[in-house]
């Protein structure tokens, strides 16, 4: 599945950047001279397949078998058909070409998260269905010099405290130049951005990306958008953080996904003209709920992710759904029936958009194919219901994902092996770390 899009090309670009997106949603690749453009477009570049699965610190993952057992084989990293884009990662103007990886023999490499999503979308195409997807991305602007999360310091604006600023027009006005920069770069890169809001926490913002019938492009746009926000923030003296829970006492940052399904005639199969939606919608809800517990590692892939999934917040903690209920993991928004859709609210902003969308859609299709029935929709505070709980910690989520027969049925074993090996290595690093709180609690006490 290839994308093609015409975008403005900066004539002042000094070099090319070419990179794939790894399992953690981090771009990894090479800097190339402008003279290499034709070679890049026609043949791609060679990179170790293990580079897709490095851990969050960029360290080779020993447990994925690629590094030593298979001799650290190269894969072929090819352009996705999108770009080159006028998106620089530093101060010097550059052109960026998004890439994805295949094996040397031409076969897809399913350790690549973009390949995992493409495989799911191929299944929808075989059923004559097309997902229409949109994402909502939250993040914080923080002080780039601080070692922990500290609110941004906006020139000529005095933040006297860390108060919440939900839907604050003044907060938007304070960073007007930054927001303008985000919209400008996004437009130059062909990323369709809708509205922006000031969210709950100090210096927290949310952007809605436009929905579309090409879920691969929507995932591309979401990954690119995060880099656009980081680049724009640096130019204005901030740092942008997509950490799921940077502040203990303030709202976490989510990656919400909205989706509906259209048939070959372009009809939304979730729409029956009523608020309740069709049987197909309920089957999709049932599929996503059935897979939610076992696939939580995709939605909450890091140690910090689980600080966001706590009662008393609008981040979900139970496997439940409801109509217009933001405490539920799955929300059916109101509005015109023609736009009937499902909103998935579990993922943190730290999750990989390709994998999040792949996990949601694969589970929805499974529910439709099996005509699964969901439990009753819930109203009120779903945190207090007796619905099953989402795994409450990283270790539990990893263990469930690694051994789940359902996950083994929904995803290629190549992806499962690489993702679990990556997360297992990261968990081991955290387990070995002695924290400042441990020293404070125990060094001179016990």
**Can you give the pLDDT at residue 413?**
95
For the segment 382-405, what is each residue's pLDDT rounded down to a tens digit? Answer: 999 999 999 999 999 999 999 999
pLDDT at 9 over 60: no
Overall average pLDDT of the 113-131 stretch: 98
For the segment 228-259, what is each residue's pLDDT rounded down to a tens digit? Answer: 999 999 999 999 999 999 999 899 999 999 99
Residues 78 and 162 in one domain: no
Overall average pLDDT of the 308-337 stretch: 94
**Can you give the pLDDT at residue 71?**
60
pLDDT at 348 over 80: yes
Q: Are 287 and 240 in contact (CB under 8 A)?
A: no
pLDDT at 159 over 90: no
pLDDT at 72 over 80: no
Q: What percent of the chain has pLDDT over 70?
A: 94
Residues 309 and 425 in one domain: no
How is 414-430 classified by DSSP, letter by letter?
HHHHHHHHHHHHHHHHH
**Cα angle 303, 309, 312; round to 5:** 140
Q: How many CA atoms lie within 13 A of 122 on its CB side?
A: 10
Overall average pLDDT of the 191-210 stretch: 93
Residues 309 and 432 in one domain: no
Q: What percent of the chain has pLDDT over 90?
A: 81
**Domain boundaries, position 179:** 120-411
Residues 243 and 332 in one domain: yes
**What CATH number has the domain bearing residue 400?**
3.30.590.10
pLDDT at 17 over 80: yes
Residues 102 and 143 in one domain: no
Q: Which of 39-43, 338-342, 344-348, 401-405 has the lowest mean pLDDT?
A: 39-43
Confidence category of residue 165, pLDDT binned at 50, 70, 90: confident
Residues 133 and 176 in one domain: yes
pLDDT at 7 over 60: no
Residues 327 and 437 in one domain: no
Overall average pLDDT of the 314-323 stretch: 95
Residue 75 is given by DSSP the state E
**What CATH number has the domain bearing residue 31?**
3.10.20.70
pLDDT at 8 over 70: no
pLDDT at 2 over 70: no
Helix, coil or strand: residue 98 = strand
Overall average pLDDT of the 167-184 stretch: 91
**139 Cα distance to chain centroid:** 12
12, β-bridge pairs: none
* Counted domains in the chain: 2
pLDDT at 171 over 80: yes
**Can you give the pLDDT at residue 214?**
97
**Can you give the pLDDT at residue 69?**
59
Mean pLDDT of the chain: 92
Residues 225 and 335 in one domain: yes
Residues 124 and 26 in one domain: no
Confidence category of residue 157, pLDDT binned at 50, 70, 90: low
Confidence category of residue 73, pLDDT binned at 50, 70, 90: confident
Residues 126 and 43 in one domain: no
Whole-angstrom distance, CA of residue 337 vs CA of residue 330 = 17
Please state, as a whole number, how many other Cβ atoms lie within 10 Å of the Cβ of residue 177.
Answer: 12
For 325-342, b/e burial (b = at least 16 CB within 10 A) is bebbbbbbeeeebeebbb
Measure the CA dihedral 108/110/112/118, to 10°.
Answer: 70
Q: Highest mean pLDDT range out of 72-76, 197-201, 292-296, 382-386? A: 292-296
Residues 233 and 205 in one domain: yes
Cis upstream peptide for 84 (omega within 30°) = yes
Residues 204 and 67 in one domain: no
pLDDT at 291 over 90: yes
Overall average pLDDT of the 367-373 stretch: 97
Strands 45-48 and 193-198: unpaired
Measuring CA to CA, how many Å separate 330 from each of 128, 322, 359, 388? 24, 7, 14, 13
The token duo for 379 is 């109203």
């Amino acid at each position: 599945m290839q994308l093609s899009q015409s975008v403005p090309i900066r004539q002042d670009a000094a070099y090319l950047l070419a990179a794939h997106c790894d399992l953690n949603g981090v771009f990894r690749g090479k800097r190339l001279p402008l003279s290499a453009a034709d070679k890049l477009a026609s043949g791609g570049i060679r990179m170790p397949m293990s580079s897709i699965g490095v851990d969050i610190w960029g360290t080779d993952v020993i447990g994925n078998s690629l590094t030593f057992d298979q001799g650290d084989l190269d894969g072929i990293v090819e352009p996705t058909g999108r770009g080159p884009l006028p998106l620089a990662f530093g101060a010097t103007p550059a052109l960026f070409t998004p890439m994805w990886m295949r094996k040397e023999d031409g076969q897809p490499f399913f350790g690549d998260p973009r390949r995992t999503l493409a495989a799911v979308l191929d299944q929808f195409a075989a059923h004559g269905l097309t997902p229409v997807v949109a994402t909502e991305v939250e993040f914080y602007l923080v002080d780039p010099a601080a070692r922990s999360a500290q609110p941004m310091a906006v020139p000529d604006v005095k933040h006297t405290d860390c108060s919440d600023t939900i839907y604050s027009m003044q907060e938007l006005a304070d960073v007007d130049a930054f927001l303008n920069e985000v919209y400008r770069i996004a437009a130059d890169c062909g990323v369709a951005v809708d509205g922006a809001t000031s969210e709950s926490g100090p210096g927290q913002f949310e952007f809605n990306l436009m929905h579309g019938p090409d879920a691969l492009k929507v995932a591309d746009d979401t990954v690119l958008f995060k880099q656009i926000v980081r680049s724009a923030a640096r130019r204005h003296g901030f740092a942008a953080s997509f950490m799921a829970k940077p502040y203990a006492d303030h709202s976490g940052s989510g990656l919400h996904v909205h989706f509906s399904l259209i048939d070959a005639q372009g009809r939304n199969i979730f729409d029956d003209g009523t608020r309740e939606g069709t049987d197909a919608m309920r089957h999709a809800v049932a599929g996503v709920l059935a897979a939610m517990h076992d696939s939580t590692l995709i939605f909450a892939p890091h140690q910090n992710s689980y600080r966001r999934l706590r009662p008393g917040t609008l981040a979900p903690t139970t496997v439940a759904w409801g109509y217009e209920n933001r405490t539920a993991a799955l929300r059916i928004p109101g509005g015109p029936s023609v736009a009937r859709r499902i909103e998935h609210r579990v993922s943190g902003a730290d999750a990989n958009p390709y994998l999040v969308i792949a996990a949601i859609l694969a589970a929805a299709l499974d529910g439709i194919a099996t005509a699964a029935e969901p439990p009753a929709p819930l109203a009120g505070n779903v945190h207090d219901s007796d619905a099953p709980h989402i795994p409450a910690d990283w270790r539990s989520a990893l263990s469930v994902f690694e051994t789940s027969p359902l996950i083994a049925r929904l995803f290629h074993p190549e992806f499962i092996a690489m993702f679990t090996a990556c997360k297992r290595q990261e968990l081991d690093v955290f387990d070995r770390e002695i924290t400042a709180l441990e020293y404070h609690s125990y060094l001179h006490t016990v």
